[in-house]
Amino acid sequence: MTDQAAVERARTEHSAKSEKLPYAALLAFAMTGFIAVLTETLPAGLLTQIGAGLQVSEVWAGQLVTLYALGSIVAAIPLTVATRGWRRRRVLMMTVCGFLLFNTVTTFSSHYGLTLVSRFLAGMAAGLAWGIMAGYARGLVTPRLQGRALAIAMLGTPVALSLGTPAGTWLGNLIGWRASFGIMSALALLLAAWIMVAVPDRPGQPDTERLPLAKVFSMKGVRPVLFVVLTWMLGHNILYTYIDPFLTQAGLGERVDLVLLVFGVSSLVGIWVIGLLVDRWLRRLALISLAVFRLPRWCWPWLRRRLGWCMAAWRCGVCHLAGRQRCC
């Protein structure tokens, strides 16, 4: 009886999968990623404003990014495991409502401690979102379309870095950092309505299909990849978070939005290169990207006035990590 039920479930799920790409649903996932990344990186270009508004130094203002990242790290695995049996759209809506609520708190908070708490909780929402989106997107289509579906669903990250963060920095300088977070809340509200209309629901994962977390962690290659991702992204996020005060010291404090634009657009170039070469040169590209990541740091003393182009090269190196993460 159990085998028959499993066969019937598999047959039902296969018939529910689309033979065409559900663009509206996949773009909703991309928008979720866009909001998650922009919520994380938006303070990077506005540290001076945020510090003044909360009456703290730029270093302490940078902890808004740190607490967001910490929330993602703390929540990603436990919340994903705890909710893997729940209906998928319900979980996705929880993450989007989290962005709506906690960005609203950040918008109106004048207390530094409360702002840090809201950033940590927003990071937890992001951690859960990243934990479910890839599987949710792949589950909406047949196997032959899963690669393309995942590419569309993850499009929000490079778009947020290439356009969203520079635009948010420019907008923050124009109307204030609090208004920028308010706009993020409005986008989350619109996204919630979009998900309810356009994203098909999916069942959670049955108990019989769940692997113990310890078994996943003990699989060959998992721990080295996790270590590489941790150290690589830590270096990237430290530099990206404090780009505002760094550029100010370099005499480019009024060009933060332009530098971030170059920084992000180059990520699209890096992803394009990865798509062409990663299947043949995975290990080689990882080593090359490490070198490219380091090279601009050596160039900074000689390229202070051309830092935007230097950062572009750096960003291309970081983007090789994105390709490596997807292929591992």
CATH number at residue 172: 1.20.1250.20
Task: Give the pLDDT band of residue 15 (cuts 50, 70, 90).
Answer: very low
Query: Beta partners for 18?
Result: 141
Is residue 169 situated within a structural domain? Answer: yes
Across 10-19, 47-56, 147-156, 220-229, least confident range: 10-19
The reply to whether 202 and 57 lie within a common domain is yes
The reply to whether 186 and 242 lie within a common domain is no
Is residue 120 situated within a structural domain? Answer: yes
Task: Give the pLDDT band of residue 221 (cuts 50, 70, 90).
Answer: confident
The reply to whether 327 and 256 lie within a common domain is yes
pTM (global) more than 0.95 = no
Of 206, 237, 260, the position where a domain reaches its end is 206
The reply to whether 95 and 221 lie within a common domain is no
Is residue 8 situated within a structural domain? Answer: no
The reply to whether 173 and 34 lie within a common domain is yes
Is residue 11 situated within a structural domain? Answer: no
The reply to whether 167 and 48 lie within a common domain is yes
**How many other C-beta atoms are found inside a 10 Å radius of the C-beta of residue 210?**
12
DSSP, res 207: G
Question: Which structural domain range is residue 98 located in?
Answer: 16-206
Mean per-residue pLDDT of the chain: 79
The reply to whether 166 and 190 lie within a common domain is yes
Predicted confidence (pLDDT) per residue in 234-251, tens digit: 777 777 667 777 777 767
- Counted domains in the chain: 2
Residue type (1 letter), 67 = L
Token pair, residue 61, equals 């203002």
Is residue 1 situated within a structural domain? Answer: no
Rounded Cα gap, residues 162 and 266, in angstroms: 8
Task: Give the pLDDT band of residue 21 (cuts 50, 70, 90).
Answer: confident
Measured over all CA atoms, what is the biggest interatomic distance in the chain, rounded to whole angstroms?
A: 72
Question: Does residue 27 surpass a pLDDT of 60?
Answer: yes
Model pLDDT, residue 92 = 96
Across 53-62, 174-183, 317-326, least confident range: 317-326
Is residue 25 situated within a structural domain? Answer: yes
Question: What's the whole-number mean pLDDT along residues 189-193?
Answer: 97
Percent of the chain clearing pLDDT 90 (strictly above): 33
Rounded Cα gap, residues 116 and 1, in angstroms: 52
DSSP string, 122-154: HHHHHHHHHHHHHHHHHHTB-GGGHHHHHHHHT
Of 206, 233, 264, the position where a domain reaches its end is 206
The reply to whether 326 and 223 lie within a common domain is yes
Burial class (CB within 10 angstroms; exposed 0-12, middle 13-18, buried 19+) of 99: buried
Is residue 3 situated within a structural domain? Answer: no
Task: Give the pLDDT band of residue 315 (cuts 50, 70, 90).
Answer: low
Model pLDDT, residue 33 = 93
Residue type (1 letter), 165 = T
Question: Does residue 306 surpass a pLDDT of 60?
Answer: no
Is residue 5 situated within a structural domain? Answer: no
Token pair, residue 243, equals 């780009």
Question: What's the whole-number mean pLDDT along residues 311-321?
Answer: 49
Choose between 314 and 219: higher pLDDT: 219
Q: By the 8 A CB rule, do 263 and 163 touch?
A: no
Query: Beta partners for 141?
Result: 18
The reply to whether 163 and 61 lie within a common domain is yes
Predicted confidence (pLDDT) per residue in 65-122, tens digit: 889 989 998 888 889 888 988 999 999 999 999 999 999 999 999 999 999 999 999 9
Model pLDDT, residue 153 = 86
The reply to whether 257 and 323 lie within a common domain is yes
Of 188, 206, 224, the position where a domain reaches its end is 206
- Strand extents, DSSP E, 36-116: none
The reply to whether 139 and 81 lie within a common domain is yes
Question: What's the whole-number mean pLDDT along residues 148-172?
Answer: 79
Rounded Cα gap, residues 183 and 35, in angstroms: 10
Closest to 238 measured CA to CA, from 71, 78, 106, 62: 62
Question: Does residue 328 surpass a pLDDT of 80?
Answer: no
The reply to whether 200 and 314 lie within a common domain is no
